[in-house]
Structure 1
Amino acid sequence: MRVYINDIEYEIDRPMTILNFCKKQGIDIPSLCYDKRVLPNGACRLCIVEIEGYKNPVTSCLEKLKDGMKIYTHSEKIKSLRRQILDLLFSNHPNDCLNCDKSGKCKLQDYCYEYGIVSATFKNKESNLPIDRTNKFFTYDPNKCVKCGICVSICNNLQNSQAISFTGRGFDLIVETPFNKGFGNSDCVSCGNCVSACPVGALNPKKKYIEDKFRYWEVKRTQTTCSYCGVGCQMNLLSKDNRIVEIEPVNTIPNDGLLCVKGKFAYRFINHTDRLTKPLIKRNGKFVQASWQEAYRLIKEKYSKIMKENGPDAFGGFSSARCTNEENYLFQKFVRTVFKTNNVDHCARLCHASTVAGLANTLGSGAMTNSIEEIDGTDAFMIIGTNTTENHPVIGSKIKRRVKNGAKLIVIDPREIELAKYADVFLKIKPGSNIAVLNGIMNVILKENLHDMDYINERTEGFEEFKRTIEKYKPDLVSKICGIDKNDLIKAARIYAKANKASLYYSMGITQHSSGTNGVMSTSNLQMLTGNVGFESTGINPLRGQNNVQGACDMGALPTDYTGYQKVFIDPVRESMESFWKSNLPSKKGLTLTEMINSAGKGDIKFLYIMGENPMISDPDLKHVKKSLENLDFLLVQDIFLTETAELADLVLPASSFAEKDGTFTNTERRIQRVNKAINPIGQSKADWKIIMEISNLLGYEEYYNSPSEIMDEIALCTPSYSGISYKRLEKESLQWPCVGKEHPGTKYMHKNTMARGKGLFKAIEYEESKELPDEDYPLILTTGRMLYQYHTRTMTGKIEGLNEIAGKSYIEISPKTAKIYNVEDGEKIRVKSRRGFVESFVKITEKVEPGVVFMPFHYADGPANLLTNPVLDPIAKIPELKVSSVLIEKIERKSYV
């Protein structure tokens, strides 16, 4: 159809609103209440336009184009009406632009300037409503609110928190929380998405300190990738005077303009006063500042001595899922070419090693099969072993939105996570019984003939043996093993199998078990049984915990793999890498992270280089970890803060944060995204890639890079799945691997026509009990996990005042029944014991956990859950059983003094 806008003819091939079409054409129509992510409401009326033949102006955000329309967006009549609307708004608004923190970013201010509103001509309705300062990160000033509704719409329809709503009418309309207790005392999760969208100064980030003050025209904006979880949210870092002063979300893939509390507000660690700014050498048990030259001299001295006396097997390195792809590539290359060993690993060993092993075995690729944006097309979700809304909040919000729009949801978890409230079926299983519940669901599907036999025949193998194993897992048996109602199990199986597009999401609740690899392969069995691999909006979707777990694995920071999962023990592969790197390479498989810790304890590993990892909080059986690290001849730690691990080091090197360097991260959906330098390195800190390069040159393997883009060019040459990646391409768009060739568009979802291994492999998997079960001495099951308001070992979030005010100390969740048995009260500090030691933590009584089960987040050094956890390993992936341990809780006797 044809329309005419300001006397210019346009052709339109699909229905859309006038405002949307004009924005596409670069025609600027003012609006305070428009956000393309939510349905328009026409509240502000500023987007009115004149249409020939219409009696009155119409709001362009609501009116759809029709063939032959003649539209005028800036006629004198329309501009006059807009001036009246702006005058009304300004008359009911505090005239404090000089003092308002939003000045320079306020749409009302901009439009008043554009339309010549310099003073209010209508009588101002007196308004002196109290400012809500209850939230730790932002304030709400109802006096400045223009009633546009964007904050309410985003909270309820994008974030899906339902924390705020409108109350009142007309001038008395305000945004309120339930019972009007304030943002800080509601279901608000402090994501700040309402703050980011507010067009005026009603919602504003708190600025507590003088260095936080700035005007928006003073800042530089640098788009980059969030350094927290694996979602890979895009954001702008706002910087002034070499400080990051604010974060803005970017409305693009994968987060669509959403952030969580950490992405939006937890950035002050970057310029924190505790940042490492100079190398530290330990002398007589105490750290003293040193020059880089002194630090490098010490490294060369220790390296030469230990290599001469003990050889390559005495060396090892921990790479980092928090560093860039380029840095992980250089680190593993350094270990192999300089240390001459494959003893290199990183924290994926503790979270998703079983994903890589399990999915590679059954499908041929150990990565998330589908994309985050495909959530919108999914008909049924199975969420198992992932607390998605807390650990991957943006993905959690998208799932909630899709369920709200009609998708089915099955949640399987030992705790009643938030998504359980939205579930059609919630199976609250006994910790460690994942394989049993999945086998039970598949038993029902097979018995009721709900499986996709055509898919199975065409695209899989091993079905008959798998089927024989599943036959014994009848609902009655599974009900007893898992502690669930068999009818709920049957209902879940039917819902899931009958869905057109069913997608399974999991995380460490599946992987961190002595049977973790088998648990991953069980998820693969279910998806192949129902024909849900190789299609859009389906698949097996492991959610990576840290920002670059996927990338660190892709880059070969693993003891058995070079980049792109090329095996070190295959002669032609090794020979090819030797030729490429111009160095003789070791052929023996390296030690895993946990094996290196054990080896250090025995005295075999003597020199350990740790980059951006904190095993003194993240690893199991922390007493053993500490003893092992203290047994080293030389511990070199490279980090941005003096972590619990760095405190044990002989030498600490100051690294730069993600805001101070260029590079790439690869998010949980295999998407390679740019990290862009916003400020200069703090103090004398250096980007990790520069430090590695300099040490490599120092120790005899010469390599020189002018920038991370040159490192990526090298990665592309030796990594088939990254062969089409370059910074030039990434400047235009992020790309998902496999991306094989300079013209390849990347891979939205994997296994489209065939599995990466050819045919998908069904695995006959039996349920096995966890290795440590409750007994008379330790009668409770401890399971561990993460929470929304802290991240990993708190290296970064532990420096954020607001997060620590909300969740600054260790706690243990206990059911009311268990609390009664042990006579403990909410908030009481108790002792928690396992066979490996004890910690003290604060009681949180909740129905989230079943009687006999307790939960602790692992983040806290003041109550380190991993001092208690079981270090027994999965025999395939060598991942520890962090999710099931046996513990005892007891009251702490307090001495009384007279």
Structure 2
Amino acid sequence: MMTDSQNQNTITIMADGNSYQTEPGESILNALERHGFHIPTLCYEEGLPIIGACRLCVVEISGARKLHPACSTPVADGMNIFTESEQVVEARREILKLLLANHDLRCLTCERNADCRLQDYCYRYKVEDTPYVGDTKNYPIDRSNPFFFRDYGKCIMCGKCVSICAEINGAYVYDFMDRGFDSKVTSAFDDELQNTTCTFCGMCVNVCPVGALVERSVEWRSRPWEVDKVLTTCPYCGVGCQMYLKVQDGEIVGVSRKKDSFTKGHLCGKGQFGWDFVHSKDRLTKPMIRKDGQLTEVSWDVAMEYISENLSRLYNESGSDAIAGLSSAKVTNEENYLFQKLLRTAFKTNHIDHCARLCHSSTVWGLATSFGSGAMTNSINELLETDCIVVIGSNTTEAHPVTGYRIKQANKMGKNLIVIDPRKIELTNYADEWLKLRPATNVALLNGIARVIYKEGLWDQEFVEARSEGFQDWIESIEGYTPERVQEITGVPKDKLIRTARLIGNSNKVTFVYAMGVTQYTQGTQNVLSIANLAILTGNVGRRGTGVNPLRGQNNVQGACDMGALPNYFPSYQPIEDPVARDKFKKVWGTVPEPKPGLTVTEIIEKAGTGDIRGLYIMGENPAVSDPDADEVERSLEETELLIVQDIFMTETAKLADVVLPATSFAETEGTFTNTERRVQRVRKAVEPPGQAKTDREILTLLANRLELNWNYNNDEEVMDEINKLAPFYGGITFARLENEGLQWPCYHTSHPGTEFLHKDQFSRGKGKFHPVKYIPPSEEPSKKYPLILNTGRWLYHFHTGTMSLRSQRLKWLRDEELAMVNPQVANELDIEDGDIVKIASRRGKVKSKVQVTDHVPQDMVFMTFHFPETLTNRLTTKAKDPICKIPELKSSAVRIEKE
């Protein structure tokens, strides 16, 4: 029996003689598809504006004088619908005949044969020919890029590529050109895509219903029935997009979207096209040991014996402090768990860390101290539910493109956008306010915004009084950050500061989004605390569409932290000094190390160079490129007595190793990744590994049993079963529950639904805590000898140290070298032109780079990525660290430019 509530929220319709319940205002198409109907459509795409152009979805409604498009007609109570009446079928057949009149009918050799909606519907409605005589459009096929080709002769003018490019990506590449028969969908001036704003995300290819847009990798090769699809998680950034790997004859031949995933099937260029590194000829295939200065191939048995004997020897000679390990943000949760377990049980060491130390260790400490949990508080799609988005220190559209799509979508929906960044980035084009602050002045700026909000009574007094502590001391600490003083420190005009504060204070829901432009400073922790202070002050924690949302850089950096690949935590952030936690792990593991926290990444590298760390095991990390002061890092690694590197390629770090072990890529393993919003998702094996490469789980298990630990994991699911018992946040996250979609931790038991947003009724620590923070200048400031500030970051088409993306031939086609960005005024003063080679020097080293002259960087800045080992940017960066979490100040180093 239906309740009163259900009666108010549902209506009854009839469809093809049966009764159905649906919601008022829902379209006929959506309502009936939820009930198992398949109404044909060529122009409709969920999430895009409805244009009703193809008219193929028409249905008959009792009492109506004409057919109605199901996509744009809302249901009404008592409506009687016929989806396949004689009139409807005849109309659809007529529409298909009209489409065929001008369509290229070489279906047998079309790349979309058997995967074409037009073909499907012609078969469904028995349309074998057309009585209409029309000219076939004869346009040259655009094959000018390696990603996909455009065949306008097959275009049916549905407009889906136009819509998704504008509404989701925001690139606005496509539009309709010309009129009548000559009309076609193309780019501005009919130009090649590489000369437009196209980001090669491939979303247009994924929505094209015919063969007008086709991925190049499947051209003349793979037909739908010849391809297996394996659902997995993207191996690049922390967004964690779901996708299908298309596999034929044991090889990946393409990627397709998963429409019903949390990212709605949207991908970026790296996810859609950057997978070919899996089959690179550069893959490691056999274990190697250094003999007489050369890495020489050996058997797995010899490699394992060598490692176990030498690590055991070093441990017996010098104790647990002589052994250290760097885990990986690239491998699965299960493999990270086993890595830290191996180090902590076999060698009793807590010298375990990974690259989160270099990107978000300040987040973990800062948010855990303020809120009780160091993770992203809310979910990516909640960006569409907020009123105001504050993006600070995040070039989101390049580093986390799909999250960038959501920010642009929200802005188009009328949500306010504030961008705080010294550089001109894509999001500044959308921003209601762009605060172009000086690098490393975030604390002063955020304190100044908070002071205005407090002084003007725009803060959430009820929330602060009920759910926070430390308020009075904090308020007193920000008193000196007047708009005038903040302008002097940051360079942000006081009027703009005040407008921004009012925009935040007057918004019901505010979401704070940040990344390494906040964390990678000696004041990184203070920056995070400042954001947390502002969120508590305005009551923007614990509700949908609010929150503090750090964007994690790599596919499993969140998971590596969760699994205890940290020097001071067991899995699930249980302190190693906690007696209860120690006892729990000891019962399962048999032993645990001493409660003293271990060394961090940079400290481990430093100690390896002095001989204090004698054995260093690195799994899936490339510190020779990613760590600051790279020349010193290389020296330290060369000096390490026993360096073991486990990876998929001969990285710059692996070249220095005594032992190199060939591991598998994401496409050759099973397990889980945890994305930036705490969503745990499956990774599935799609292809076999090359040569003798093994999964990281297999390698770690081999070594553990050489060390007589007697591990007997048969698969990754058994590892997750152990994680469920020991890590409370993952208590209810099982492979069976992850079969169809992910779960967000905390998820304490198998009936727990997961947690979309944190701190709903109270903070994890009880009450949120305000922390007084004081602005302190960066460790290095411009001088006469080094007059510019080096700022580092990412570029859309490459990733991290380039290990994977630089082995994707298509991504390399877009760019395969560093371009140091300098302001036109600096270029003019130094007589530098676009494309010139220059030498960039700091107090630590020099590199050569090609120059890009652009006003996207301020006059006192040089911007470089760290993707290209040939231009080792981290030769220039300082090792100065945040004193609390030990994160290096990678975003601010003093440099000079010398013309070659």
Amino acid at match of 1:806: L
Deviation track 1:420-465 (CA, whole Å, cap 9, x = no partner) reads 1101110111111111111111121122121112211111111111
Q: Identify if the C-alpha distance between structure 1 residues 208 and 284 changes in structure 2 by more than 3 Å, giving closer, same or farther.
A: farther
Secondary structure of residue in 1 paired with 2:599? coil
For residues 236-292 of structure 1, give each alpha carbon's deviation from its aligned partner in whole angstroms, at most 9, with x where no partner exists: 111111111111111234311100000100010111221111112222222222211
SS at 1:156's partner residue? helix
User: Hey, what does 1:50 align to over in structure 2?
Assistant: 60
Q: Distance in 1 between matches of 2:74 and 2:23?
A: 13
Match of 1:842 in 2: 850
2:58·2:68 contact (CA, 8 Å) conserved in 1? yes
Say which of 26, 30, 35 aligns to 2:45: 35
Partner of 1:19: 29
Q: Does 1:738 align with 2:746?
A: yes
Query: What SS does structure 1 have at the residue aligned with 2:60?
Result: strand
Alignment partner of 1:686 out of 685, 694, 703: 694
What are the within-5 Å matches in structure 2 for residues 286-435 of structure 1?
Answer: 286-435=294-443
Counterparts of 1:532-551 in structure 2, within 5 Å, are 532-551=540-559
Contact 2:136 2:153 in 1 (8 A): no
1:128 shift after superposition: 1.5
- Cα distance in 2, alignment partners of residues 883 and 455 from structure 1: 35
- Residue 874 of structure 1 corresponds to 882
The equivalent residue for 1:714 is 722
Residue of structure 2 equivalent to 1:126:
136
User: What do residues 612-636 of structure 1 show as CA deviations (whole Å, max 9, x unaligned)?
Assistant: 1000111000000000000011111
- Could you tell me how far 1:304 is from its partner in structure 2? 2.8
Deviation readout 1:124-176 (Å, 9 max, x if unpaired)? 31321122234441111111100111111111112222121122334322112
> Aligned match of 1:856 in 850, 853, 864?
864
Q: Counterpart in 1 of 2:184?
A: 174
TM-score normalised per structure 1: 0.97
Please show how residues 287-686 of structure 1 align to structure 2 within 5 Å: 287-686=295-694
The match for 2:86 is 76
Cα distance in 2, alignment partners of residues 652 and 797 from structure 1: 21
CA distance in 1, matches of 2:408, 2:208: 23
Q: Does 1:232 align with 2:232?
A: no
User: Aligned equivalents of 2:115 and 2:219: distance in 1?
Assistant: 20
Residue 284 of structure 2 aligns with an amino acid whose one-letter code is L
Counterparts of 1:92-131 in structure 2, within 5 Å, are 92-131=102-141
User: What is the rounded CA distance, in whole Å, between the counterparts of 2:598 and 2:451 in structure 1?
Assistant: 40
Verify the 8 A CA contact 1:716 1:722 in the aligned structure 2.
yes
Q: CA deviation at 1:667?
A: 0.6
What is the DSSP-based 3-state SS (H/G/I as helix, E as strand, rest coil) of the residue aligned with 1:872?
coil
* Stretch moving more, 45-54 or 647-656: 45-54
Taking the TM superposition and a 5 Å limit, the aligned residue runs for 1:766-781 are 766-781=774-789
The TM-score normalised by the length of structure 2 is: 0.97
* TM alignment of 1:255-294, pairs within 5 A: 255-294=263-302
Shift of 1:357: 0.5
Instruction: Determine if the alignment matches structure 1 residue 139 to structure 2 residue 188.
Output: no
> Any runs of at least 4 consecutive aligned residues in structure 1 with deviations exceeding 4 A, and if so which?
none
Secondary structure (helix, strand or coil) at the match of 2:736 reads: helix
Counterpart amino acid of 2:79?
A: M
CA distances 1:27-85 after superposition (whole Å, capped 9, x unpaired) = 22111111111122121121122223222222211222223332221123322222222
Structure 2 letter corresponding to 1:167: M
Structure 2 gap ranges (5+)? 1-10
Aligned to 2:175, which of 165, 187, 211? Answer: 165
Match status 1:65 vs 2:75? yes
Give the Cα separation in 1 of the matches to 2:488 and 2:808: 44
Structure 1 pair 312/443, CA: closer, same or farther in 2 (3 Å)? same
Structure-1 separation of matches of 2:726 and 2:14: 54
> What SS class does the counterpart of residue 426 from structure 1 fall into?
strand
CA contact (8 A) 2:103 2:136 kept: no
Q: Determine if contact 1:607/1:634 at 8 Å carries over to the other structure.
A: yes
User: 2: CA distance between counterparts of 1:383 and 1:221?
Assistant: 36
Please report how far the alpha carbon of residue 729 of structure 1 lies from its aligned counterpart in structure 2 after TM superposition: 1.3
Q: What is the letter of the counterpart of residue 362 of structure 2?
A: S
Structure 1: distance between partners of 2:554 and 2:719 = 22
Deviations 1:694-728 (A, max 9, x none): 11111121211111111111001011111111111
Structure 2 counterpart of 1:381, one-letter code: I
Does 1:149 pair with 2:153?
A: no
Residue 896 of structure 1 corresponds to which residue in structure 2? none
One-letter code aligned to 2:184: I
Amino acid at match of 2:293: G
**Aligned residues of 2:178 and 2:184 also touching (Cα < 8 A):** yes
Superimposed CA distance per residue, residues 168-212 of structure 1 (whole angstroms, 9 cap, x where no aligned partner)? 3343221122222232211111111011110001011113888xx
Distance 1:801 1:868, change over 3 A: same
Match of 1:578, SS state, is helix
TM-superposition CA deviations, 1:71-110 (whole Å, max 9, x none) = 2211233222222221221221112222221122111121
Give the letter aligned to residue 613 of structure 1: E
1:87 paired to 2:97: yes
Counterpart of 1:812 (choices 790, 798, 820) is 820
**Letter of the aligned partner of 1:620 in structure 2?**
P
Letter in 2 for 1:10: Y
Distance (Å, rounded) in 2 between the aligned partners of 1:431 and 1:859 = 22
Deviation at 1:469, TM superposition (A): 1.2
CA distance in 2, matches of 1:340, 1:98: 64
Residue number in structure 2 paired with 1:798: 806
Q: Is the 8 A contact 1:139 1:203 kept in 2?
A: yes
Q: Distance in 1 between matches of 2:76 and 2:421?
A: 51
Q: Deviations over 1:495-536 (max 9, x none)?
A: 011100001000000100111111110100110111111111
State the alpha-carbon separation in 1 of the partners of residues 722 and 147 from structure 2.
42
Q: CA deviation at 1:22?
A: 1.8
- Where does structure 1 lack aligned partners over 5 or more consecutive residues? 893-898
8 Å Cα contact 1:380-1:408 kept in structure 2? yes
Q: Which moved more, 1:426-435 or 1:582-591?
A: 582-591
Shift in Å, 1:9: 2.4
Distance (whole Å) between structure 2 residues aligned to residue 128 and residue 658 of structure 1: 42
CA distance in 2, matches of 1:456, 1:71: 54
Contact kept in structure 2, 1:336 and 1:586, CA below 8 Å:
no
Aligned length: 890
Cα distance in structure 1, aligned partners of 2:418 and 2:146: 33
CA RMSD after TM alignment: 1.4
Mean Cα displacement is larger for which, 603-612 or 280-289?
280-289
1: CA distance between counterparts of 2:308 and 2:775? 50
